[in-house]
Amino acid sequence: MNSWFDDYSLSDFNLQDRFLFGGSPWKNGYAIAYAEQSPITYVSAITTSTVILHDTGDAGVPIANAYALYHALKGNGTL
């Protein structure tokens, strides 16, 4: 999981995220906490080649996370 926003919106256990961060990322300024704890926020700091391994059958971490990381790394010239 590289984005807590995606985790909240796409996974099957977003209730847990509301307890972890104090609420939904879409209200009362909780978005800052979600962004600060999301690895994708810091993708520009990745400078080494990275292998992305994922499974479309993983309901806990949606495949969209892998696509987002791939495009972020590709856009930064890391891949």
* Closest to 52 measured CA to CA, from 68, 34, 70: 70
Separation of alpha carbons 11 and 71, rounded Å:
20
CB-CB neighbours of 7 under 10 Å: 22
**Interval 21-37: pLDDT, tens:** 999 999 878 999 999 99
In this predicted structure, the answer to whether residue 13 has a pLDDT above a threshold of 80 is no
Residue 57, pLDDT score: 84
Domain-by-domain residue ranges, the chain? 4-75
% residues pLDDT > 70 (the chain): 100
Full-model pTM: 0.80
Answer for the pair 27, 56: CB distance below 8 angstroms, yes or no.
no
